[in-house]
Chain A
Amino acid sequence: MPAIEILGLEKTYSVGFWRKRPKRALFPLQLTVEDGEIFGFLGPNGAGKTTTLKLLMGLVYPTSGSARILGQDWNEPAVKAQIGFLPEQPYFYDYLTAHELLEYYGQLSGVPAKQRSHRVNEVLHQVGLPDVKGLQLRKFSKGMLQRVGIAQAILHDPKVVFFDEPMSGLDPMGRHEVRDLMDELKYQGKTVFFSTHILSDAETLCDRVAIIHKGELRGVGAVEDLTSSVQGKIEVIWQGTQIPAAMKALGAECHVSGDRVRAIVDEKQQDAAIDALRRERQQLVSITPVRTTLESYFVEKLRRAETTAGKTV
């Protein structure tokens, strides 16, 4: 039995105050997520990821279509007891402490009274917030709120969790912890469905991803399959103000700033670039892979589609 089956969910908002115009946020979406998968829902900002998640959570109603979660109608309270949800940039009752908030959510989700406080401490520890007793949420930083958000999503030991941009607002350390957490959830046999606009997050975690753009599904599959066509880039920085001719020959875009030069070259040219610098005895400062965002993935894809079209004309 698949964990999530999205059966043609579709949403058209009417926008405008006086003269309502329809605005399509999501074209009919067909998607199946298997039990125990970590599934990435990818797309640039405004692609329809949050709309899809809100539809699945019953926060907005679909124009048509339906969904099944764990084999049942997705709006059944019985289903909701078995799912967890982290909204994008979560915000909570700021007059409560983290413990009070989770206690309250535990009540609403039907966590038995006897286990509640134990469970609250457990998840707070799990998300890396062990010492926040007595501190009201209004005093929490954005990153801490994100952690509380993850805690409340897994509090009631759900079978399926939905995370909307779980990495946002977190520092690199936090991102790493969240990745580990998702791996652990998978290990526990849970299904994780999360949205992100950062490709690398998906690459390291997901069994499969779906890519959505402008409300339409563009592809489903393993990350490598989808992104292999896009070449990676690296950033090379060295001391000095000189730009070796060999470097220029590689087609690098170079910028001098202060006493350093920053160059972007294709991943394939990495060795050649290093050789060129060594020959000129330049002092290398760093080499970093440039994180490919979904935007650049799409920019790349669209640009290539355009050039192909241009050639045929």
Chain B
Amino acid sequence: MNRRIAYIASNTFREAVRDRVLYNLIAFALLLSGAAILVGQISIEIEKLVVINLGLTAVSLFGVVIAIFIGIGLVSKEIEKRTLYTVLSRPVRRWEFIVGKFLGLAGTLVVNTFFMAIGVFLALFYVSHKFVKADALILIALYFIILEFLIVCSLSLLFSSFSSPLLSAVFAFSLFVVGSFAEDLRNFAGMAHGISRWLATAAAYLVPNLSAFNVISSIAHEQPVAGQLILHNTLYALFYATMALSGAVLIFEHRDLK
């Protein structure tokens, strides 16, 4: 890989760590251990269900919040604080900067998710005292969550490349919510007629389709995940993130840094 991209990525990671982003892990640990202890005492049948559902949902939500809040500042904050001037006056191309920033944020989230995953498995062990083969499904759910992060990161970065942090946050978060209901959006589109059907269908394909990434409730019930879905989701996340990043590069490449 291009060395400068790696340098920018690792600096982005360092920034997140120094900004105490990983402190969210403490909140996560408290939430999960509290829940594990509580459900361990009240319910016998569904404790495992609760730990998996709650744990993975928290992994996803915490990560999305981090992805959005760091992502929206990645470019706009550097422009605003003018830290970018001394970077871009070096032999760094603008697209390298965007890609490096993206990889740095994605790396931060992977590390964060890794620690959270350990937490989920610990809590699981605490309530059920053993691991069974079906628990490996959790790894697939975690993988999908990371894919989801890639999409959210790339979108926040895209918005960050032309908009203020606050607006970017609003855009990115709305798209995350809309994306979680993308299949319903496509159903709406299917019910419309004429030109509104075309527009709605186009919109439904343009927003990130995150519903397919949510397999939390099904794996909590030990339903297997189709191998084909893993392949499809991987491809979709890569293509979508590439699209959003290309958009970010296009916008950023033509921007004057006033």
Binding site for B on A (CB under 8 A): 13, 54, 57-61, 77-78, 80-81, 83-85, 87, 89-93, 95-96, 104-105, 107-110, 149, 152-153, 156, 162
With A and B bound together, what is the CA distance between A89 and B90 in angstroms? Answer: 18
- Residues of B in contact with A (beta carbons under 8 Å apart): 3-4, 7-8, 11, 14-15, 18-19, 81-93, 254, 256-258
B251 to chain A, nearest CB (A): 13
A13-B258, A60-B256 known; A105-B90 Cβ under 8 A: yes
**In whole angstroms, how far apart are the Cα atoms of A5 and B169 in the complex?**
43
A54→B257 contact, CB < 8 A = yes
Binding site of A, secondary structure by majority: helix, strand, loop or mixed?
mixed
Interface contact A85-B256, CB-CB below 8 Å = no
> Please, which residues of chain B bring their CB within 8 A of the CB of A93?
11, 15, 83
Query: Are B257 and A59 within 8 A (Cβ)?
Result: yes
A-B contact count (CB 8 A): 79
Given the interface pairs A59-B257, A60-B258, the reply to whether A91 lies near B91 with Cβ below 8 Å is no
Q: How far is the CB of A91 from chain B (nearest CB, A)?
A: 5
Apart from A59-B256, A96-B14, A107-B4, 20 more pairs, CB < 8 Å:
A54-B85, A57-B88, A57-B89, A58-B88, A59-B257, A60-B258, A77-B93, A78-B91, A80-B92, A84-B89, A85-B86, A85-B89, A89-B82, A90-B85, A93-B83, A95-B14, A105-B90, A108-B87, A108-B92, A152-B86
Q: Judging by beta carbons under 8 Å apart, are A108 and B4 in contact? A: yes
Report yes or no: A107 in contact with B85, Cβ–Cβ below 8 A.
no
Q: Is the CB of A59 within 8 A of B254?
A: no
Given the contacts A90-B82, A91-B83, A95-B18, A81 and B91 also touching, CB distance less than 8 Å? yes
Q: Are B7 and A104 in contact (CB under 8 A)?
A: yes
Chain A positions within 8 Å of B81 at CB level: 91
Q: Are B82's CB and A61's CB within 8 A? A: no
- B174 CB to closest chain A CB, in angstroms? 22
Known: A13-B256, A59-B256, A60-B258. A90 touches B86 (CB 8 A): yes
In the bound complex, residues from chain A placing their C-beta under 8 Å from that of B3 are: 107
**Alpha-carbon gap, A84 to B90, bound state (A):** 8
- Closest residue of B by beta carbon distance from A82: B91
Please name 28 pairs of A and B residues whose Cβ atoms are closer than 8 Å in the assembled complex, sorted by A.
A13-B258, A58-B88, A59-B84, A59-B257, A60-B257, A60-B258, A61-B256, A77-B92, A80-B89, A80-B90, A81-B91, A85-B85, A87-B82, A90-B82, A91-B81, A91-B82, A91-B83, A92-B83, A93-B15, A93-B83, A95-B14, A105-B87, A107-B3, A108-B8, A108-B92, A109-B91, A149-B86, A162-B89
User: A81–B93 Cα gap in the complex (Å)?
Assistant: 12
Cβ contacts under 8 Å, B8 to chain A: 108
A194 to chain B, nearest CB (A): 15
Contact partners of B257 in chain A: CB under 8 A:
54, 59-60
Cα A16 to Cα B147 in complex, Å, equals 40
A93-B11, A104-B11, A110-B91 known; A61 vs B86 contact (CB < 8 Å): no
The answer for the CA separation of A254 and B244 in the assembled complex, in Å, is: 67
CB distance from B80 to the nearest CB of A (A): 10
Smallest CB separation, B242 vs chain A (Å):
24
Q: Name A90's closest neighbour in chain B (CB-CB).
A: B86
Chain A CB within 10 Å — which of B3, B14, B88, B89 has the most? B89
In the docked arrangement, what's the CA distance between A58 and B81, Å? 17
